Amino acid sequence: MASSDATAPVRVVGGWASPFVTRVCVALRLKGVAYEFLQEKLGKKSQLLLASNPVHKQMPVLLHGGRPVCESLVILQYVDEAFPGAAPRILPADPYDRAVHRFWANYADAKLPTALRTLRRMVDGDGAEAAEQVAAALARLEEAFADCSKGRPFFAGDDIGFLDIALGSYVGWFRAAERITGQTVLDEARTPRLAAWAARFCEHQAVSRVMPDAGRLVEFGEALRAALAANAQRT
């Protein structure tokens, strides 16, 4: 089978709460690609996941005709190339714009997972510094939105694209963090363009059904916290 065979079955290995998994599902829905979702169990990696991603042993993994593609940003690019006939494009057509969007997607992944990793500290009342770090990163991305969008609704223009999906995948966890801490993450006063963009992104037809609900994410965070504590007691 050729790796570009658009008719081959597509499966996504991952967990519903992961922003990195969410972005893969959004990309496939944007392209109109049917896929099967294989849910991983909390705290237990399946043999399929381990066999499909033996290097990092992390989700998500995209299986296209049984062939694995790993790392969410790599998967987004793969989906764009493997399904070229499906509109819209995920990556910008212009090489410079592609480079800029990749830069800011990498920036988001370098800075924003702090919002996830520090949920436990936020619960313990030690999240103010982490929240400010996230706010500073979002302020940078507010400037990037002004430059990339060129006055249109999304980073990619009139429809969502690579950078929209990469950054937008965190929105559910931002909202969950706001519920847990009582602190505003997407601040309309500090980052008004980004706050409005996030609302538009979540309403997009490719996003609305796969963006995790903030309440469910809060419950998931509590379950993960309990599982980590239980594992620590056993070791």
In a domain, 190, yes or no: yes
Instruction: Yes or no: say if 89 and 161 are a contact pair by the CB < 8 Å rule.
Output: yes
Report pLDDT for 205: 97
> What pLDDT is stored for residue 181 in this prediction?
81
What Rg value do the Cα atoms of the chain yield, rounded? Answer: 18
* Residues 118 and 173 reside in one and the same domain: yes
For residues 137 and 140, what is the distance between their CA atoms, to the nearest angstrom?
5
Measure the CA–CA gap between 233 and 235, rounded to whole angstroms. 6
What is the number of domains present in the chain? 2
CA distance linking residue 104 with residue 221, whole number of Å: 27
105 lies in the same domain as 199:
yes
* pLDDT of res. 123: 57
Residue written as token pair 């494009």: 89
Are both 78 and 159 inside the same structural domain? no
65 and 105 fall within a common domain = no
pLDDT score recorded for residue 202: 98
Same domain, 77 and 133: no
Q: How far apart are CA 67 and CA 40, in angstroms?
A: 18
Predicted TM-score (pTM) of this structure = 0.93
CATH of the domain at 146: 1.20.1050.10
Q: Can you tell me the distance from the alpha carbon of 75 to that of 231, in angstroms, rounded to the nearest whole number?
A: 31
What pLDDT does residue 11 have? 98
Residue 64 is part of a domain; what is its CATH number? Answer: 3.40.30.10
**Can you give the residue range of the structural domain that contains 75?**
10-82
Q: Which residues of the chain have pLDDT under 50?
A: 1-3, 119
How many CA within 13 A on the CB side of residue 5? 12
Single-letter residue type at 72: S
Whether 161 and 54 map to the same domain: the answer is no
Residue 103 · residue 162 · CB < 8 Å? no
Q: Look at residue 1 in the predicted model and tell me its pLDDT.
A: 35
Residue 88 lies in a domain: no
